[in-house]
């Protein structure tokens, strides 16, 4: 089962959300406080949304997904962007498939033409490719 956490329940799930997000996004220790403040601000102001996957029988949390919606200013296309995906356990392929279909339906209901993500996690890259995501670009950085 997957739910969208309502804004008025973010505080109830905040400890799980911030743990999952800082782990998935590999936030440096010195940046955690600022990162969490920004994440909380975005969630409480509906600039980002949190979807949580539960085991249906015991409500144990399986996965946390933080999404946002982007609008292309040129062509008007709307995209659901996976900001963070963290799994507490892998779950079955059948469970992933059901949850993916619900997420795709939610994206369509929101008027999205695409779903995008950015990751450097090999496990997430493999999973994305298995679910039909195509690589669009690669990012490079130089430290000065």
Per residue in 85-98, pLDDT (tens digit) is 998 877 777 887 88
Does residue 138 sit within a domain?
A: no
Find the domain containing 55 and state its range. 2-130
Dihedral angle computed from the Cα positions of residues 115, 69, 86 and 29, in that order, rounded to the nearest 10 degrees: 130
Residue 60 has pLDDT above 90, yes or no: no
Q: For residues 47 and 68, is the Cβ–Cβ distance under 8 A?
A: yes
**Per the structure, how many domains does the chain have?**
1
Does residue 36 sit within a domain?
A: yes
Say which range, 5-14, 29-38, 94-103, has the weakest mean pLDDT.
94-103
Kindly state the average pLDDT of the residues 7-28. Answer: 95
Reported pTM: 0.87
Average pLDDT of the residues of the chain: 90
Q: Which two tokens stand for residue 42?
A: 């975005």
Does residue 143 sit within a domain?
A: no
How many CA atoms does the CB half-sphere of 79 hold within 13 Å? Answer: 13
């Amino acid at each position: 089962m997957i739910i969208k956490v309502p804004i008025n329940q973010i505080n109830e799930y905040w400890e799980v959300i911030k743990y999952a997000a800082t782990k998935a996004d590999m936030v440096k220790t010195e940046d955690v406080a600022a990162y969490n403040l920004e994440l909380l601000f975005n969630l409480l102001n509906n600039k980002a949304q949190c979807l949580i996957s539960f085991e249906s029988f015991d409500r144990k949390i399986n996965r946390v997904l933080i999404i946002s919606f982007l609008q292309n200013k040129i062509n008007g296309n709307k995209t659901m962007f996976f900001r963070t995906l963290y799994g507490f356990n892998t779950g079955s392929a059948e469970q992933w498939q059901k949850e993916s279909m619900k997420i795709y339906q939610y994206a369509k209901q929101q008027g999205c033409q695409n779903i995008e993500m950015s990751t450097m996690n090999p496990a997430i890259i493999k999973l994305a490719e298995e679910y039909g995501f195509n690589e669009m670009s690669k990012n490079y950085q130089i430290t000065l």
